[in-house]
Amino acid sequence: LTSGLEAAWNKLKGEEVLTKENIVEPMRDIRRALLEADVSLPVVRRFVQAVSEQAVGVGLIRGVKPDQQLVKVVRDELVKLMGGEVSELVFAKSGPTVILLAGLQGVGKTTVCAKLAYYLKKQGKSCMLVAGDVYRPAAIDQLVILGEQVNVPVYAAGTEVKPSEIAKQGLEEAKKKNIDVVIMDTAGRLQIDKGMMDELKEVKRALNPTEVLLVVDAMTGQEAAALVTTFNLEIGITGAILTKLDGDSRGGAALSVKEVSGKPIKLVGRGERMEDLEPFYPDRMAGRILGMGDVLSFVEKAQEVMKQEDAEELQKKIMSAKFDFNDFLKQTRAVARMGSMTRVLGMIPGMGKVTPAQIREAEKSLKIMEGMIEAMTPEEREKPELLAESPVRRKRVAQESGKTEQQVNQLVAQLFQMRVRMKNLMGVMEGGSIPALSN
Residues that bind ligand GDP (CB under 6 A): 103, 105-111, 188, 243-244, 246-247, 269-272, 276
Among Mg ion, ligand GDP, none, what binds residue 88 when CB lies within 5 to 8 Å by partner kind?
none
Q: Least separation, in Å, of the C-beta of 226 and ligand GDP?
A: 18
Shortest distance (Å) from residue 350 CB to ligand GDP: 19
For ligand GDP, the closer of residues 35 and 345 by Cβ is 345
Which long-range CB contacts under 8 A does 188-192 form with residues at least 24 apart? 188/102, 188/103, 188/104, 188/105, 188/106, 188/107, 188/109, 188/133, 189/104, 189/105, 190/104, 190/105, 190/106, 191/104, 192/104, 192/227, 192/230, 192/231
Taking the least distance from each CB to Mg ion, the nearer of 213 and 347 is 213
Residue 407 burial (CB count, 10 A): 19
CB 126, CB 97: distance < 8 Å: no
Sole window of 49-57, 105-113, 229-237, 368-376 interacting with Mg ion (rule: CB under 5 A): 105-113
3-state SS assignment for residue 151? coil
- Given the complex with ligand GDP, which of 95 and 247 has the nearer CB atom? 247
Residues 118 to 157: which contact Mg ion by CB under 5 A?
139
66 vs 209, beta carbon nearer ligand GDP = 209
Work out which of 110, 232, 238, 331 binds Mg ion, going by CB under 5 A. Answer: 110
Q: Which residues contact 271 (CB under 8 A, 6 or more apart)?
A: 246, 342
User: Residue 179 in contact with residue 216, Cβ under 8 Å?
Assistant: no
**Binder of residue 180, out of Mg ion, ligand GDP, none (CB less than 5 to 8 A by kind):** none
Q: What share of the chain is helix, strand, coil (3-state, %, to 5)?
A: 55, 10, 35
Task: Tell which positions 173-232 bind Mg ion, by CB under 5 A.
Answer: none
Q: Residue 16 binds which one of ligand GDP, Mg ion, none, with CB within 5 to 8 A depending on kind?
A: none
User: Is 8 or 182 the residue whose CB approaches ligand GDP more closely?
Assistant: 182
What's the first-to-final CA gap in the chain, in angstroms? 36
Q: Which is nearer to Mg ion, 51 or 107 (CB)?
A: 107
Inter-residue contact 225 to 260 (CB < 8 Å):
yes
Task: State the residues that interact with Mg ion by CB under 5 A.
Answer: 109-110, 139
